[in-house]
Amino acid sequence: MAIKEVKKFPIGGIQLPEKKGLTSDQAIKVMPEPAEVAIPLSQHIGAPAEPIVKVGDRVKKGECIAELQGKISARIHSSISGIVEGIVERKKPGQGTYSCILIKKDDLELKAEAQKSARGALPEIETIRKRVKAAGVIGMGGAGFPTHVKLEPPAGIKIDTVIINGAECEPFLTVDHRLLLEEYLDLFRGLELIKKAVGAEKGIVAIEVNKKDAIEKLQQKAADWPGIEIQALDTRYPHGAEKHLIKAVLNREVPKGELPIAVNVVVNNVQTAVKIARAVDFEEAVTDRVLTVSGEALTTPSNVKVPIGTSIKDVIKFCGGPKDQQDYQIIVGGPMTGINIDDESMPVVKGTSGIVLITAAEYADSETRACIRCGKCSEVCPMYLASNRICAFVNNGLLERADDVGLKDCIECGACAYICPSKRPLVRWIKRGKAELRAVEK
Amino acid sequence: MANLFRSSGPHIESPETIETNMWSVVIALIPALIAGVYFFGLYALYLVLASALSAVVFEKPFVKNTAALGDGSAFLAGLLLGLTLPPTVPWWLPILGGFLTVVIGKHLFGGLGSNIFNPALVARAILLLSYPALMIEWVSPLDGVSTATPLQLGTDAFSYSELIIGNIPGSIGETSVIALLIGGVYLYLRDYIDLKIPLSFTAGAVGAALIFGQDPVFTILSGGLIFAAIYMATDMVTSPVAKWAKIIYGLLGGFLTIFIRRYTPYPEGVTFAILIINGASYFLDNAFETAHFGEVEFVRKKVAHFSAVITAAVLILLVGMTLIDEEAPYPGNLSYSHLNQSVPAADDFEIIERDEDDILFAARAEAETIKDLIYISRNGFEAPIEVLLILEPDGNIENIKIINQSESPTLGARIKDQDFLNQFREFTTADAEQIMAETDLISGATYSSQTVVRAVQAGLRLLIAEQETGLQDGVYQGQAEGVQGDIVLEITVENGDIVDLEILAEQETEHLAQPAYEELEEQLLAEQSADLDTVAGATYTSEAFMEAVEEAIAKASPDSDSESDFEIEDGVYQGSAEGHAGPIELEVVVEAGEITEIEVLSENETPNLGDDAVEATKTAIIENQSLEVDTVSGATNSSVGTVNAVENALDSEAEAASDQSQTEASDADSAAENGEETDTDSSATPAEESEEESTADSDLETEIAEDTAEGGSNG
Ligand code: SF4
Ligand code: SF4
């Protein structure tokens, strides 16, 4: 089936070297359970979960080990069968640490009961929300917003469209691509469930055209799913940014400082929709996730289903480890928005979409030079910001003026810093400016 | 890696660097450089490379970059400057230019990225102002003959295809539009150029051209406009970043370029136009900041700002333009730059004579007249043909330019062919009447070429007329009898004008005369003539004053002290004029073009006074071979009558018509005027009448013949 209409957001954005070929044809591999997992209590936006197990407790895979706290929070489940060793601190990508429940594998391979019922009619809205909440589903694209909250739009707001974000615009990452191909049934089911929960009539799966096979397959399969459309998107970074996805697909512009619900839309990640389907239909908790482990410095780039809490070191080892004699940098997430880490004991969390081993040669660390006012940064900015100006203000301590020219509007996509011929770390400056501004405003 | 700053993304970077940006523009300029070298020779290549490389060398102390050619920015700036130089500048000028570019234009402002003004244009502006003569000396492509640029020569000097290919005089790299566009396309395809500025710049220029009634295509193709639009105005550091700011910037730049070309002495207006908009680019970025994603309110606010700024700008411009237009000193398409480019050395162009739209200018350098310029406009088929003559002080036509014409492109437009125009070179004022006969008209374009000849002729006549009334510099005395004795005064003539008057001796009643002198002096300086209004209460004194002035003026007249030939056809002529007491009739014998004898046939003047005066006058005329002779004091009427009679005799045409007017020409006034005129004009009538009577205003024998013939046939 030919791809009909290809949409895109109107202004800005860049073409990136994709490097997706390393893993796009690799079927998802399931990683065996590691000897131990360190499961962070706070993998989501909101209050950390409260542990409900003691040291020495034996836990089954899928058993709840930490209960949510307050309205915006998410439950945590054990990702393996084993014994609770205690609470440990693990470094977080970037700054700070995670408090993690450390569980040692016990070889009993116990699993929490899964519902065996076959898929039938969609359950009641309340049931959907309850089961999603119970399974600890959060935004699996990286944002980590608790999904059950998202499925309950504020009163008075009418949601008409649900978009599944299959853009996957970061280089290297092919998780969503593989899920679209391999788990589209869960995806469609998940999308129907979300639609029901938020009361939307329309469901759209938006996919960049660099995943042509996925678009074609889903267009075919969606024929059996009235109410689900497949929308092709141009290959352009950052189509995966929520606001730009909406702009591209529906031509609606989310007003400054607002959420997608302001334009009657809910956006969900592919893997989130899959997890929702499994949570609602099989009452299966989120104990693992699929991520892409890739990079020119890695021996066997792969798409792997990894238990939550597995250390990054174990994952890299599972993928053959780094190539010999390669200097490399480890990036958690994609190379545009991900974080460069230097401690491989960090755990994989629900929002970890990839681990990329970038060779030292590829890694961006050129000397920062003077801004030549080429305007490239403004040209590519999907938020229509002039980041050279924002940064000029930030670097001169003029935070208010920086705010005037859009400091807070920046979505930190990194397009500007990527394109800058003077290799100016624009996004880093903007992040620092935002932090400083928050400190001033408090 | 606790440092969030270093650890956050993006972790990959594009291959673009400052170097790729700079060198790709350099590559884009190669076609223009090749064209420049092809048209202007290897020396042009030296100039460009000297400029570029010296810029690189002068930058070395300021930068860490160890690459031999630096980051490319200095090379590019130097290259841009080099390409805008005329191909004739001396060898050291590009090196100085390279220095000005990087040191003054760039590093004094803080180096790459910190300079407000385009470094190459800063250098160019400094050079233009410091070495105006070197910077506007142009040569024809291929043959290297000195000439002017299309902007100076006007719309029709070159065809569009010549302008596009670039085999025209101009800066080394600016002439070939096609080569510049090839580079532009290259930049566009490699995504190194944003078209907003080039397009809006061109649009601004076209808009201005339309407003000013110029040919928009010519406007775009000439004067380095394309070069500026693609390579100068787009300089990243000095142009705005925001979308609308870029568009406004470009429009403004294009408009200003044409505005400057038209209203200032700098025909290649791009340099100053771009420097001006450079200065505005930070403001524009602020004023026209793009609305951010999701900012609906913001858009409205900005639209309001936007409209306010635009309205204000348009208002200011409109007001400014009306002011300028009211003062627009020149008719037709003539502009100051035409004058300036014709005589670059001049610092002042004074209008000496203006007859409707025909203008005679004196081009002065340090108050000395070095050239005369004459602008003449005559109706062609469609629109006036506007001609500018450049003359040496001796009246030689040095050059002729067609400023504007709209003749049929295939035939009439050939009047701008150099072969045709060159014919006029070396004609002088003396040839004014033969021009038509001695010029080869263009077959098939007879009318158009004739019009040009007529225009040239009219121009020469304008100059002749002016020369006849002009005074020679110096100090001259005049004397006349007042109420109580002689008034002796002195006039000072400078640049052909009476600039001062001094009373040397007088015995008039002081309280009456003094105010009268003052008033008369004022009038004299204003009128530049002895024909003044008498001051009430001091009528006699006033008259005496005028008479004395007249005498002085007569002495200052160009021919008063020079022996001049009448060059009249040999023969015997009779003439008469009213003397003091009746007509004086005489016979003038001309041999070999000279008056050899004057025989008085009859006169009735006062014995021993008037008749002596007649005798003295006729001797003086023969001696001086001029009618400009002193009158005999106490017998003015007799003297003047004699002069008039001789004049009348020489003017065979006027002989029959010798009318009352001549008898009226018996006061001192007309004597002086005749004196000024008769040498060059055989008409015996006073100047004001000769104008009505015939077109004759030349001193030439042929003219007399012609006049006679014409008079005869007309009669
Ligand atoms: S891309 Fe870099 S050099 Fe260009 S304007 Fe932006 S910050 Fe300056
Ligand atoms: S990081 Fe911010 S400023 Fe830079 S392109 Fe993205 S949104 Fe624009």
Q: Chain B: nearest CA to A124, how far in angstroms?
A: 35
Q: In what order do the strands lie in the sheet with A29-30?
A: A29-30, A302-307, A288-294, A354-359, A328-332, A339-341
**Residue A144, in any domain of the structure:** yes
**Residue A112, in any domain of the structure:** no
Is residue A381 marked as binding? yes
Domain boundaries, position A322: 31-107+287-360
Q: What is the per-residue pLDDT for B673?
A: 44
Which atom of ligand 1 lies nearest, measured to the CA of A391? 7
Q: Which of A103-107, A172-176, B69-73, B343-347 has the highest mean pLDDT?
A: A172-176
Name the closest-CA residue to atom 5, ligand 2. A381
Same domain, A187 and A232: yes
Residue of B nearest to A421 (CA): B17
Least confident of A210-219, B241-250, B600-609: B600-609
Judge whether B28 and B186 are in contact, CB under 8 Å: yes
Residue linked to tokens 């026209």: B288
Same domain, A21 and A162: yes
Q: What is the per-residue pLDDT for B58?
A: 93
Instruction: Report residue B608 CA to chain centroid gap.
Output: 57
Q: What is the per-residue pLDDT for B606?
A: 81
Least confident of A118-127, B33-42, B84-93: A118-127
Q: Chain B: nearest CA to A73, how far in angstroms?
A: 25
Q: What is the per-residue pLDDT for B424?
A: 85
B287 pLDDT tier (thresholds 50, 70, 90): confident
Ligand number nearest CA of A385 is 2
Q: Chain A: nearest CA to B124, how far in angstroms?
A: 21
- Chain A residues with CB inside 8 Å of B240's CB? 375
Ligand 2 center to A12 CA (angstroms): 10
Name the residue facing B292 among A333, A409, A427 (closest C-beta). A409
Q: Chain A: nearest CA to B104, how far in angstroms?
A: 18
CB contact under 8 A, A378 and B111: no
Same domain, A277 and A209: yes
- The whole-angstrom separation of Cα B377 and Cα B405 is 10
Provide the 8-state DSSP code for A79.
Answer: S
CB contact under 8 A, B10 and A405: no
Pairing of strands A161-166, A202-208: parallel
- The whole-angstrom separation of Cα A384 and Cα A410 is 9
Looking up residue A20, the CATH number of its domain turns out to be 3.40.50.11540
Ligand 2 center to A236 CA (angstroms): 14
Name the closest-CA residue to atom 8, ligand 2. A381
Ligand 2 center to B305 CA (angstroms): 25
Same domain, A220 and A152: yes
Same domain, A192 and A142: yes
Same domain, A129 and A270: yes
pLDDT tens figures, B139-186: 777 777 776 677 766 666 678 888 888 888 888 988 899 999 999 999
Q: What is the per-residue pLDDT for A390?
A: 93
Is residue A413 marked as binding? yes
Ligand 1 center to B299 CA (angstroms): 24
Same domain, A132 and A274: yes
Least confident of A289-303, B495-509, B668-682: B668-682
Ligand 1 close to Cβ of residue A388 (< 6 A)? yes
Structure tokens at B694: 């015939």
**Residue A204, in any domain of the structure:** yes
- The whole-angstrom separation of Cα B40 and Cα B52 is 18
Sign, CA torsion A363/A368/A372/A376: positive
Q: Is the model's pLDDT at B330 over the cut of 90? A: no
Is residue A64 marked as binding? no
Same domain, A162 and A269: yes
- The whole-angstrom separation of Cα B659 and Cα B207 is 61
SS3 A244: helix
B518 by Cβ neighbours in 10 Å (0-12 / 13-18 / 19+) ranks as: exposed
Q: What is the per-residue pLDDT for A36?
A: 92
Ligand 1 center to B105 CA (angstroms): 21
**Residue A258, in any domain of the structure:** yes
Higher pLDDT, B635 or B1: B635
Q: How many domains does chain A have?
A: 3
For range B626-649, the mean pLDDT: 79
Ligand 2 close to Cβ of residue A381 (< 6 A)? yes
CB contact under 8 A, A94 and B7: yes
**Residue A293, in any domain of the structure:** yes
Neighbour-count burial for A120-158, b at 16+ CB within 10 Å, e otherwise = eebbeeeebbbbbbbbbbbbbbbebbbbbbbbbbeeeee
Q: What is the per-residue pLDDT for B379?
A: 81
Q: Is the model's pLDDT at B561 over the cut of 70? A: no
Residue of A nearest to B191 (CA): A376
Q: Chain A: nearest CA to B15, how far in angstroms?
A: 8
Q: What is the per-residue pLDDT for B204?
A: 94
CB contact under 8 A, B1 and A342: yes
pLDDT tens figures, B360-413: 888 888 777 888 888 888 887 777 888 888 888 878 888 888 888 877 777 777
Judge whether B577 and B549 are in contact, CB under 8 Å: no
pLDDT over 70, % of chain B: 83
Same domain, A140 and A227: yes
Same domain, A128 and A199: yes
Looking up residue A351, the CATH number of its domain turns out to be 3.10.20.600
Backbone φ/ψ region at A16: left (φ over 0), alpha (ψ -120 to 50), beta? beta
pLDDT tens figures, B46-68: 999 999 999 999 999 888 877 88
Same domain, A51 and A21: no
Same domain, A167 and A224: yes
Q: What is the per-residue pLDDT for A232?
A: 93
B1 pLDDT tier (thresholds 50, 70, 90): very low
- Chain A residues with CB inside 8 Å of B290's CB? 378, 384, 386
Of the residues A360, A392, A407, which one is the last residue of a structural domain? A360
pLDDT tens figures, B425-435: 878 887 877 88
* Residue of A91, A332, A368, A378 to mutate for B, most B C-beta atoms under 10 A: A378
Provide the residue count of chain A: 442
Average predicted confidence (pLDDT) for chain B: 79
SS3 B615: helix
Residue of A nearest to B294 (CA): A255
Stated as kind and residue range, the H or E segment containing B387 is strand B384-391
Beta-ladder partners of A266: A162
**Residue A16, in any domain of the structure:** yes
CB contact under 8 A, B16 and A376: yes
Give Cβ neighbours of residue B323 (< 8 Å, ≥ 6 apart): none
Which atom of ligand 2 lies nearest, measured to the CA of A380? 5
**Residue A366, in any domain of the structure:** no
For range B702-711, the mean pLDDT: 42
pLDDT over 90, % of chain B: 19
Name the closest-CA residue to atom 4, ligand 1. A374
Is residue A374 marked as binding? yes
Q: What is the per-residue pLDDT for B532?
A: 81
Ligand 2 center to A394 CA (angstroms): 14
Of the residues A213, A248, A282, which one is the last residue of a structural domain? A282
Ligand number nearest CA of B240 is 1
Task: List the domains of chain B with CATH numbers.
Answer: 18-290 (1.10.3430.10), 342-468 (3.90.1010), 476-556 (3.90.1010.20), 571-612+637-674+684-714 (no CATH)
**Residue A371, in any domain of the structure:** no
Q: Is the model's pLDDT at B210 over the cut of 60? A: yes
Is residue A377 marked as binding? yes
For range B12-29, the mean pLDDT: 92
CB contact under 8 A, B13 and A364: yes
Query: Which stretches of chain B sit within 8 Å of chain A by CB?
Result: 1-2, 4-14, 16-18, 20-21, 73, 111-114, 194, 236-243, 246, 285, 289-296, 298
Name the closest-CA residue to atom 4, ligand 2. A416
Closest CA to A170 of A208, A119, A205: A208
Give the ipTM. 0.87
Point out the residues of chain A with pLDDT beneath 70: 1-3, 114-118
Q: What is the per-residue pLDDT for B325?
A: 54
Q: What is the per-residue pLDDT for A410?
A: 93
Of the residues A282, A308, A343, which one is the last residue of a structural domain? A282
- The whole-angstrom separation of Cα A80 and Cα A104 is 8
For range B666-677, the mean pLDDT: 43
